[in-house]
Amino acid sequence: MNARKDKVIRSTDVDALSSRYFAVKKDYIDDPYMDIMVDGLKELLPFTSNINFSISRNLKSAFETPKLPAINRGTYIRTKSIDLVVEQFLRKFKEEPEVQVVSIGAGSDTRPFKFLSLYSNLKYFEYDFVESVKIKKAIILRNKELSSIVKFQNLNDVEKDFSNYQEFLRYDENLFTPNYNLCPIDLRLLGDKYNINSLQNLNPNIPTLILGECVLCYMEPADANQVIKFFHDNLNKSSILLYEPIGGDDNFGNVMVKNLSSRGISLPNLMHYNTLEKQFERFTKELKIENLQIADMNFVLNNWIDGDELNRINHLEFLDEVEEIVLMNKHYCLILAQWGDLNFKPIQKFQLVHE
Ligand SMILES: C[S@@+](CC[C@H](N)C(=O)[O-])C[C@H]1O[C@@H](n2cnc3c(N)ncnc32)[C@H](O)[C@@H]1O
């Protein structure tokens, strides 16, 4: 494990959050918790290092430089499609006493607040590196609305937040409440340092949706597969929803890899499982998970979004890079796999299906 590389990987959360931030500002998506998360991150992230000048500068630029219309549309379909699947999963199991969502590499995602407000039987788990978890915990605890959504009982001996690097280092990293569990876990150590019993409060026997949005792509293929295998081996009725880039057989993937490597980011999975078919084989042959559906985001945009909504988003901003967005969407995919007695069937169509 390389601390410098991990720091760069952690910083991709700012990319994801700032993309959603601009998609919200331009009305592509709605997110009542976005400003709380962004303001919290701007204030607290600089304390996570003793050289905070460059962090502040990078953060400022991330939230001041609007994204191109093509990026906003990519963010729209990414967020919307994942929400559609999560919503259907929670609706299907709303009469169960309990249902779980486990978000791996959760970063600053605001989904837990949205879905915990809607489903009283939901237990939400979020795992990420320790630094990211500490910031999210502090953002939640210092905000009344978020603390109340996660049913945090205000105990006097709990430190709400931190205001310098030394306090950050000492800040406790776990947050366990009746409906929410935020824990520092390096996902590469699942099955090694962590067994299923170390994932506190997780129940292996109830319907569970594992959510990995742009996370496994940063790991070596063997590590990423070990994460999936860990949940497959340990959870009895579960589904996993992944949003992943795929390199493709064309130049686009090479350019993507080159652009990211100039920032010190490597995406080992991107060229290894670089097509829908290879992702398909990865699950059915390598991981032996048979119940599987996969689609690229171009297919998802054209088949999951109704005409009125497409018309609405097409009129939000002028876009002259139409071919570029088709190409970009073909280089990201959604993978939905499941096992155990779950029988979860979203109504949306996928491109490749195996039951
Ligand atoms: C691109 S961000 C995505 C964040 C969030 N899922 C979203 O889409 O908004 C990738 C996240 O995965 C986390 N991550 C990557 N590798 C990880 C690992 N080995 N263990 C824990 N978290 C990891 C990073 O820290 C970061 O928060």
Instruction: Give the atom of ligand 1 at the shortest distance from the alpha carbon of 107.
Output: 27
In this structure, the number of other CB atoms found within 10 A of the CB of residue 10 comes to: 20
190-218 tens-digit pLDDT: 999 999 999 999 999 999 999 999 999 99
Residue span of the structural domain in which 46 resides: 3-354
Ligand 1 center from residue 95 Cα (angstroms): 31
115 confidence band (pLDDT: 50, 70, 90)? very high
- The CATH code of the domain that includes 251 is 3.40.50.150
Question: What is the 3-state composition of the chain as percent helix, strand, coil, each rounded to the nearest 5?
Answer: 50, 15, 35
- Tell me which residue of 13, 26, 15, 30 sits closest to 79, measured CA to CA: 30
318-344 tens-digit pLDDT: 888 788 899 999 999 999 999 998 999
Average pLDDT of the segment spanning 161-179: 91
pLDDT over threshold 70, residue 105:
yes
11 confidence band (pLDDT: 50, 70, 90)? confident
What is the predicted pLDDT for the residue at 155? 66
Name the region of 201 (left: φ>0; alpha: ψ -120 to 50; beta: rest).
left
In this structure, the number of other CB atoms found within 10 A of the CB of residue 351 comes to: 16
pTM of the model: 0.96
What is the predicted pLDDT for the residue at 156? 66
51 confidence band (pLDDT: 50, 70, 90)? low
What is the predicted pLDDT for the residue at 300? 98
pLDDT over threshold 90, residue 351:
yes
Q: How far apart (Å, rounded) are the C-alpha atoms in residues 260 and 240?
A: 26
What is the predicted pLDDT for the residue at 272? 84
**Ligand 1 neighbours by CB, cut-off 6 Å:** 9-10, 12-13, 16, 105-107, 109, 128-129, 132, 186-188, 213-215, 218-219
Q: How far apart (Å, rounded) are the C-alpha atoms in residues 79 and 71?
A: 12
78 among annotated binding-site residues: yes
Q: Are 280 and 321 in contact (CB under 8 A)?
A: no
The percent of residues in the chain predicted with pLDDT above 90, rounded, is 75
What is the predicted pLDDT for the residue at 54? 64
What is the predicted pLDDT for the residue at 259? 81
Ligand 1 center from residue 307 Cα (angstroms): 33
Ligand 1 center from residue 315 Cα (angstroms): 32
Q: How far apart (Å, rounded) are the C-alpha atoms in residues 289 and 283?
A: 5
Q: Which of 38-47, 197-206, 298-307 has the lowest mean pLDDT?
A: 38-47
Q: How far apart (Å, rounded) are the C-alpha atoms in residues 131 and 128?
A: 8
Domain count, the chain: 1
Average pLDDT of the segment spanning 57-72: 88
Ligand 1 center from residue 220 Cα (angstroms): 14
pLDDT over threshold 70, residue 103:
yes
Residue nearest to atom 25 of ligand 1 (CA): 10
Give the list of residues 6+ apart from residue 83 with CB closer than 8 angstroms, or none: 111
pLDDT over threshold 60, residue 52:
no
Ligand 1 center from residue 70 Cα (angstroms): 23
Test site for ligand 1: of 2, 13, 211, most ligand atoms within 8 A of the Cβ: 13
Burial (Cβ within 10 Å: 0-12, 13-18, ≥19) of residue 194: middle
pLDDT over threshold 80, residue 42:
yes
Q: How far apart (Å, rounded) are the C-alpha atoms in residues 66 and 20?
A: 11
